[in-house]
Amino acid sequence: MYFPLRISFLPRCSNGTVTFDVIFGPAYKGIPLAAVVSSALYAEYGINVDYAYNRKETKGHGEKGLLVGASMKNKRVLIIDDVITAGTAIRESVNMLKSIDAIPIGVSIALDRMEKVSLEDPISAVQGVMRDLDIPVVPIITLPQLQAYISSCSYETDLVDSIAAYRTMYGVN
C-alpha cells in the first residue's frame, strides 16, 4: 500500500516554502530517511533539496572523510532521524553541523515515543532536545497516535496492553 508523504511535518514559511536547504541524516538510520525524504519531496512536490549524512567513523579511502553528500556550510539544515532516545545523537549532530558552519534549523523524527529522559526527570528526550538546543523537534507520529491506531485494530489487544504498560512506566504525560 502506498502512503503519500505528509509534507506537513516539515518546517515551512508562512508562504508555504520549505525553510531549509539540506536534509541531514545522522548515521545510521537517518541516512535512508534523509535520502527517501529528499527523493519524495522532489517526486511528489517538485521541491529539490539536497541531502547529506555522517559516518560513525572517518574513512581513509574512497571519498574519505566523515561527512558525505551535499555541502552544508552556511546552509540551513533539517536533521531527520527515526526516534530520539536520550538526545545524544541529535546533540552530537547539531555540534558537528555548527562546527562546519551549518545552521541546524530543526529536527524531524519518525516517531516520538514520548519517553522520560530518566525515571527521575519528568520531561521527554524530545522536550530536552528542544529546551537545550533551542530548535524545534517535529514528529511525524507520536506514540499516543500510534497507540490509538493500534487500538482501532481489534486483533492487536496484546500489543495495545503492552504499549499502555510501557507508557505508564516510561512515558511523559
- How many Å apart are CA 57 and CA 40, to the nearest integer? 28
- How many Å apart are CA 11 and CA 106, to the nearest integer? 8
How many other C-beta atoms are found inside a 10 Å radius of the C-beta of residue 42? 12
Catalytic choice (61, 64, 73, 98): 61
Catalytic choice (29, 56, 59, 64): 59
- How many Å apart are CA 66 and CA 63, to the nearest integer? 10
What's the distance, CA 9 to chain centroid? 10
116 is catalytic: no
61 is catalytic: yes
| Residue labelled with grid coordinates 548515521 | 27
Catalytic residue numbers? Answer: 59, 61
